[in-house]
Every structure is written in structure tokens, then in C-alpha cells.
Structure 1
Amino acid sequence: MSFKDLQLNRPILRAVAEAGYENPTLVQEKTIPLVLKKKDVIVSAQTGTGKTAAFALPIIQQLFDTQDTVKGGKKIKALIISPTRELAIQIENDFKTYSAYTNLRTAVVFGGISIDPQKEILKKGIDILIATPGRLLDLHKQDVVNLDYIQTLVLDEADLMLDMGFIDDVKKIERLCTKEKQILLFSATIPYKVEQLASSILKDPQRIEVSPNASTSKNINQFLYYVPKKNKIELVLHLLRDNIKGSIIIFRRTKFGVDKLEQTLLKNKYKAVSLHGDKSQSERQIALEQFKNKEAHILIATDVAARGIDIDNLNAVINFDLPNLPETYVHRIGRTARAGSTGSAYSFCSADEKVYVQAIQQLIHLQIEVIEDHPYPLDPKAKKEIHKTPGKSKHRKGRKSEASKKKKKRWY
């Protein structure tokens, strides 16, 4: 099938061709005709399957006929809600690419930066708005955003949005839009809470499932290293020296862990940058640009910061900390081996993470290859590590010191 077969108009086909896309992906083939028929849709698809174009192209097509509204008179007709700033910026870039030969105006709003420039853009009038939930509601409270003309509402990465605690915000935004709107819900996975949300706000939705949750690309070589927690940093340095080259994303569970690993890699003369929620928007954008431009070869990130980021030609993913949700593993490693290329995924498992390996292997229906020949093997009998504060306590648990007893005033 070609994009012409999807009944898209010439300006869109021209923009898509110039962007280098010849044929639609499976999720685009299935989704675009339903969106053009004004159906509500639930799409389960991993990042990298082309889902942004699956909603962007039909939305641009639907708005094309009303694009010549006088300047300043434009109303927001399409609203795309995104959980993270990085993903929102990426969606805006895609919309601008695909609408290059139309007069449609697109804008993006998100927190972490000044609200005033965003107000100025909105006051000029736009057709398509991409927003994170918190900033959108702030702007609505200040009467800068009018949602009375919304024709299409898109909830992107719905599972992550709910994991981040945006459920009430999403429901509020849906209520602020017109009742007649079309709703498109996109999610990497469809857990129970996403099903609940969908059943409460969508009308008779069509379901599309592309690359189900359990799938991992056959082009990804997956390796598992059992290693004590205290030796993970040494192992990553060993692999970077001898095995892993090119562009690499390393996933850590915490912001503190991301910072600690970045400092270690920089000390060892690796070009590394990092992404996590405590960094300012400008810091995050600079880090991402450096990684995309190959100024840095290693990006260290938490799952939330890296969700939805599209990076071409990624050679490897390292799971420094294994995720507690097996679907997150699928999502992480799916960032490499895109568009028919090959890639590798390296996972480090300490004694307390073995339970995660079982869940991951059950989900992907695959026994991950264990690499035993490395300098920091884990003792098979090793028990879960318990974190103790350095040094022993002077007092037995539950006992007060003599000094403390003397100071304490009796109430009786």
C-alpha cells in the first residue's frame, strides 16, 4: 500500500515524500482510514511503529478545508495531550513537517519554561495544539486556551500518562472539550486503568493492535549479565571498552543513579549526557540535541524522561537497572533495531532483580542469552542485598540513650 491509497491530499503526500517516507507502516495503514471516517480509536503500538503520523496525517487532512481562516480568527480544532515535554516537542516537529504545504498553524505548550511566550503564540490563533496536561490546564485557567472548538482529541502514550498521575487532569481536559469530538487513544500497552479510562470517555471505539506487548524485534540481540549491584559500574565500563560501540542509551531507575553514572563516565573520558525529571527544559533539550548530533555517544536516562523520544541509528540499549514492569523492558529495547536495522540490548541483573528476569522472559516468550564470561560474575547463591547504613548504631533498636532519657519531660 502507498500513502496515495489512503486518500490523502497532494500537499500532505508531497510533505510525506520530502520527509523520506514511501509507504505507510502497519499502524498507519490501519488507523488513518478509521480516523478519516471520524471513528474513536484505541491503538496499542510500541514507539517506533510510526504512530505519530497515524494521527497527524488524518488530522491535517480533516483540517485542510478550513485552513484559510483569517489570521487571528483561528480556533484550536485538534488537541494532542502528551505526558512529557520531549515527546510534545517531537510531535510538534512531526506536525510541522507534514503540514509544510498547508496554512495550518501548530504550537506546543509545556511546563518548566516561562508561560508568557506560550500565551503570545496562542493569542495569535492556531489550529493544532500539542500540550502536557499541567501547562494546558494552567493556560485554560488564565483564559488563554479555548477548547470549545475541538474536533479531535488525541491522548498519546496513555499508559505513561496514567503512571505519572495525570488521570484526573486528562479527565478534566476531556470534559473541557466539546461533546461531539473524536477521541484517539494511543498507548504502548493497554493495562486495566487505560481500559477504564477508554470506556469512560470513548464512544464505541475501533481497536487496533500492532506489535502486541510481548513482541521484541528479531533484529535485537539480547544479552543478560548476572552481576552484583556494587560491580555494575565496573561492568558497564568493561563493556564500553571492549564490546559496545556507537550510539548507546543506558537506562537507570532513579535520577540519582543517572547523575552518578554520568559523572563516572565523564571521568573516564566518555562523551555522555543525561535526561531526568529534575533537569530544566533547556538542559534536557541541549542533552538530546548533543546525543542526536553525535556530539555525545551515550545518553543516560530514566524511563519517564526517555519515553517517546525518537532517535535514529541507535546501536545499543543497556538496562543498567532492570525495570520492574516487563512491558517497560520491551519498550526500552525497542529503541534500537528500528526500520529493519539490527541492534543489541544488554541487561544487568543483580540478586534482587532475578524476579524481574522471569517476568520479562514470560512476556517476550524468549530465554535471554546469559553471558557468563565477564569479570564480575554474581554468586548463584547470592541473596537479595539489604542496604545498611554505614557503621553500627550505638544503641540497640528501640532503646533511648541515657542522655535522651534525662532530657525527656514526663507528662505524668
Structure 2
Amino acid sequence: MHFSQLPPMLGEALAARGYAAPTPVQAAVLEPAAEGRDLIVSAQTGSGKTVAFGLAMAPQLLEPNGELPYIREPLALIIAPTRELALQVSRELIWLYGKAGARIATCVGGMDASKERRNLAQGAHIVVGTPGRLRDHLERGALDLSSLRVAVLDEADEMLDMGFREDLEEILDATPQERRTLLFSATMPRPIVALARRYQRDALRISTVGEDRGHGDISYQAMAVAPADIEHAVVNLLRLHEAETAMLFCATRDNVRRLHASLIERGFDAVALSGEHSQNERNAALQALRDRRARVCVATDVAARGIDLPTLSLVVHVELPRDAETLQHRSGRTGRAGKKGTAVLIVPYPRRKRVDMMLRGARIAAEWVKPPTPEDIRRNDRERLLAALLEPVEVDDEDREIAQRLLAERGSEEIAAALVRAHRARLPAPEEMLDQGAGERPGPGGPRPGFEDTVWFRMDVGRRHNADPRWILPLLCRRGHITKNEIGAIRIAASETLFEIPRTAAGRFAAALKRTEGGDPEGEGGVRIEPVQGKPREEARRNRRAGPPPTRHKAKPFRARPKRPR
């Protein structure tokens, strides 16, 4: 299909932006077979997905004269996993539907919620937002979805990975059943299939993912670490490679800000790029990298689009890419123009299987390596220092005069040692990596109010799986649909963890566990949680009387999820 067949106002908007012909995904959603149907679309990053679903929903939005009707309730809803992506989608739809008179409201975490509610009250044809903020507006009565004609889930797999399933279900349950649902997902894991089956009718599957994979000049490495060691692994990678320019990819601008501040504090010359930076700040950061005043760039995927730095030789995926296409897009910042580059994925232990699948799908042969140790770094430092000091250099008369004065005051060995010490003092210190979790959270001396009558539960992760209360509490809240105030004592053993729940909440906790079990086999859904008969000491005595315990499946560690935006 050509753009000439679109409503004139959309065609004019596309022409003004320099669009001459549709991309493959845009052409696919405009085919007659896709018209009016629910869609499941897989397309690689940078393929024009936003414009694709913007064009696909046009028949449901536009009147015969090509304009949008006057209505207070939204006709289209686009849900995106991150604030950056939601803002990007909103900007794209503003120019695409601007000539049609569209009113577009954006609802994302970190923005003024009261202003968003006023915009919704004034009426919006299209609402774009993140799941948490949209759910908040819905529950407050500020968002009315009763007239919705189209719902779009952009990067649906990423939203489920981030723990937004309940938010999505509540939002979609509030929409009319006859609405059209467009689901964009790079992968099709079981939770996505279940979501599509529940909320779509006779959906047409579209895939335009290309066959051209990988970068021949990039060496891929992957290293599994405990979640608490991710930042330490980043520091040690930077120190091991001492790359002329390195780029670190994070999923959100909050994480960019946090990691950038941490690296600056440690003594790295680093800059940051994310959606919160202006164009002038972006230009200044890139110029600092080109001038060698900075050597490390911490960035989000969106902020790093189109960046080409000739000296970039190291890419670190601090937070895992959402799919193979994002992996290649990020990694492709290095290994350009015949130069060699290294791309390293930092993989939390429970995500290893998923990363293996991603690498196979991308036809990338990555080497699994151990995180660099301080001794590895010091060994490389010694080799680099010797190479630098043994290189021939040009000296002038002033250099020779200072050298002679030094030799007159100190021996040659003392001078060399002082030079080595001065060089090493400029380098950030390497980090020691943790071997296991932080230990157990002991219960209080006496029962807390409300915990006089409790039920104990067991989960099949312990210290050897890097179990830690900081990860256990949010996991139990997500899996069991309870609050942290409803969790009592936590006792972490070598291979299991015991915890108590008030008997008044134990029933709904157990029911929620059944619904959430197995939804994410490599992550939290794969953690086995079951009630304990009696108190922990009574259970231990029963096990000793019964003989050796039965063989259990290999316990799967869980991942620490980032805090979701609201």
C-alpha cells in the first residue's frame, strides 16, 4: 500500500516529515487483510512501529471527512513500558494527527498528575501513558475508557517483564469488549500468549523481523552476576578494558542518573544521555566524548539512537536489552568502519536462560566469562603501564632539567616507583564482588501486633542463590498480592527461606501464588513457594524422623526487578 491511499491529512503529515513510502511493518498493518482486525505485531527496533500503529488505528478514529470527532472520552489508548517511550510515542502521534485536530494527553510517572487530570477532563482523542500512571488515573475516576475504540500495547513483553500484568489487566478490563486491540511484542512468551488470548479476538499475526543478524566486528561476552553486584561488575569492566570510549546502556533515565553519579564519585570521566537532557546538553556530552575529555557514556536506548563515535570500543549492557533487535542496536554502536569492538551483557543469575535464548535468536555466539577480579585488573594495569612507560617519547630541555634534578635527589628506582604510584593513583579502585547474599533477616524477639497467629511458608531459594530480604519482600508482594506489612519474620537458610504470613491473609496469599506460579519460569514465577505444616522447628523435627528429604527440583534464583514508574 502507498501513502497516497491514506486520508489526505495523514498523507500530508507524512510527506512533511519526509516519508516517501511505508516501511515493511507500516505496509503490513495497512494491508486489506489487517483492516479492522486485532493484530499481534513483531518488528525490529527502528522499523517505524509508532507510525505503523498510528496509521493502523486511523479508520477507527477519523470521520469520513478525515477529521476527528468532538468527544470528551478518549478514542485510542497507547500503553508503553517506560516514560521515555511514552513521550516518544506522544511526539510521533502529535505530528501525525496534528492536521486532523487531535488532542493528545500523555500520562506518565514523574510528571504533574494534577495537570494530567485536567487535560483528561478537557477531553483527549488519544491518551498515551505508562501502566502505573494510567491505572492511577483510572482508579481515581479521571480516565474514562467507556468510549475507547482502539487499545495499543507497545512493547507488551517488556511491560510484563517489568511486572505490569495486573495494571494492564485492570486497564483493559475497563474498556469496551468491541474495541480493537493492537499488541506489539518482540517476543511471544507464554504470558503474552495468555494476554492475547484473553483480550484479542481472531488476531492476525504479523512479523517483519529481518534475517540479517549480528555484527562481524563485535566480540560478544556475557557474565552472570548476583543482582547486588551489577554496579561492581560495571566498574570492574571499565577498569579491565580501559577503553578509549565506552557506552553503558540502562533501561531508564533514573538508572542512568544513578549510575552516572556513582561513576563520577568513583573518579571516572563520564557523561550521561537520557530523555531528560536537552539537545544542548546532549551535544555537549557527545563533544566531550569526541574531545577525549570524557571516556564513558551512560545512556538509555532512546537517547543513544544514531550515535556514532569512532573511538567507541566497549559497549556494556548494564540492564538487559528487551529483545535481540535492541541487543544488536545497542551493540552496533561499536565495531564500525572495520574496527573491532566488545559488547558485554551483565546477566543477573536467573536471567541466564532467557539471555541464551536471545543470543540464539540473534545468531550471536557469545562467550560466557567470569566477572573481572581486582587481581585481573591490576595485572592489566601493570601491562598497560609498562607499555606506556617503555614507549619512545620526545623530551625537551625543560624535561631533561627536571629529570636531572630528580636524579640528584633520589635514586632511579625511587623515581620510577613514584611515577608508578602517581599513575595508579589516578585510576579508580576495582571492586570486590560478593560471593553470596547478605544473609537472613531474623524475626523479632516477640510477635508483632497482628502476627500472633501466623502461617509459615517455604520458598526454594536461600543464601546459595543470593537470597536477600531486599529482593524477597518485593517478590512476595508481587507473587502473593500482599503488602510488605503483611510479611512477618524471614529466615534464610542455605537452600531455602521460611517466612510467616498472618493467618487472616494466608488464604488469599496462597490463592495468588497459584495464579502467579510458572508465569515466568526463568524469574520470579519459577520460584516454588508452599505452606509449611506447623512451625519451622516442628517441620524440621518431622523431616528428621521421616528420613532424608525427597529429591526436589533444582531451585531457581529470582531477579530483583526495577521499581516500576507510577
What TM-score, normalized by structure 1, do the two folds share?
0.71
Is the aligned partner of 1:38 residue 2:87?
A: no
Retained in 1: the 8 A contact 2:301–2:330? no
Alignment partner, residue 331 of structure 1: 326
Alignment partner, residue 538 of structure 2: none
Is the aligned partner of 1:313 residue 2:307?
A: yes
Taking a change above 3 Å as real, the CA distance of residues 308 and 154 of structure 1, as seen in their structure-2 partners, is farther
Retained in 1: the 8 A contact 2:62–2:69? no
Retained in 1: the 8 A contact 2:78–2:127? yes
Taking a change above 3 Å as real, the CA distance of residues 337 and 318 of structure 1, as seen in their structure-2 partners, is closer
Retained in 1: the 8 A contact 2:213–2:362? no
The CA deviation at 1:220 is: 6.7
Alignment partner, residue 189 of structure 1: 187
Taking a change above 3 Å as real, the CA distance of residues 75 and 88 of structure 1, as seen in their structure-2 partners, is same
Retained in 2: the 8 A contact 1:35–1:41? no
Is the aligned partner of 1:273 residue 2:272?
A: yes
Alignment partner, residue 50 of structure 1: 48
Alignment partner, residue 3 of structure 1: 3
The CA deviation at 1:25 is: 1.6
Question: Residues 168-198 of structure 1, C-alpha deviation per residue, up to 9 Å, x if partnerless?
Answer: 2212211211121110000121111100110
Question: Greater RCO between the two (CA within 8 Å, min separation 6)?
Answer: 1
Alignment partner, residue 177 of structure 1: 175
Larger radius of gyration: 2
| Whole-angstrom CA distance in 2 between matches of 1:140 and 1:353 | 34
Taking a change above 3 Å as real, the CA distance of residues 23 and 239 of structure 1, as seen in their structure-2 partners, is farther
Taking a change above 3 Å as real, the CA distance of residues 116 and 48 of structure 1, as seen in their structure-2 partners, is same
Gaps of 5+ in 2: 290-295, 380-432, 439-490, 492-566
What TM-score, normalized by structure 2, do the two folds share?
0.53
| Whole-angstrom CA distance in 2 between matches of 1:19 and 1:157 | 24
Retained in 2: the 8 A contact 1:292–1:311? no
Question: Residues 223-272 of structure 1, C-alpha deviation per residue, up to 9 Å, x if partnerless?
Answer: 13588987753542565643x47xx343499x889845643357656342
| Whole-angstrom CA distance in 2 between matches of 1:56 and 1:41 | 13
Retained in 1: the 8 A contact 2:106–2:129? yes
Retained in 1: the 8 A contact 2:222–2:367? no
Alignment partner, residue 222 of structure 1: 218
Taking a change above 3 Å as real, the CA distance of residues 355 and 141 of structure 1, as seen in their structure-2 partners, is closer
Taking a change above 3 Å as real, the CA distance of residues 88 and 387 of structure 1, as seen in their structure-2 partners, is same
Number of aligned positions between the proteins: 361
Percent identity over the alignment?
Answer: 25
Residue 238 of structure 2: which of 232, 236, 242 is its match? 236
Taking a change above 3 Å as real, the CA distance of residues 100 and 263 of structure 1, as seen in their structure-2 partners, is same
SS of 1:20's partner is coil
Alignment partner, residue 435 of structure 2: 386
Alignment of 1:116-195 (within 5 A): 116-195=114-193
RMSD over aligned CA atoms reads 4.4
Alignment of 1:276-315 (within 5 A): 285-287=275-277, 292-293=282-283, 295=285, 299-300=297-298, 306=300, 311-313=305-307
The CA deviation at 1:89 is: 0.6
Question: Residues 340-360 of structure 1, C-alpha deviation per residue, up to 9 Å, x if partnerless?
Answer: x97966116799899667555
SS of 1:318's partner is strand
The CA deviation at 1:39 is: 0.6
| Whole-angstrom CA distance in 2 between matches of 1:351 and 1:37 | 42
One-letter code aligned to 2:316: N
Alignment partner, residue 207 of structure 2: 209
Gaps of 5+ in 1: 275-283, 390-397, 399-412
Question: Residues 363-392 of structure 1, C-alpha deviation per residue, up to 9 Å, x if partnerless?
Answer: 333334899xx995899xxxx972487xxx
SS of 2:30's partner is helix
Query: Which piece of structure 1 moves more, 161-170 or 225-234?
Result: 225-234
Query: Which piece of structure 1 moves more, 138-147 or 173-182?
Result: 138-147
Query: Which piece of structure 1 moves more, 182-191 or 168-177?
Result: 168-177
SS of 2:184's partner is strand
Alignment partner, residue 405 of structure 1: none
SS of 2:152's partner is strand
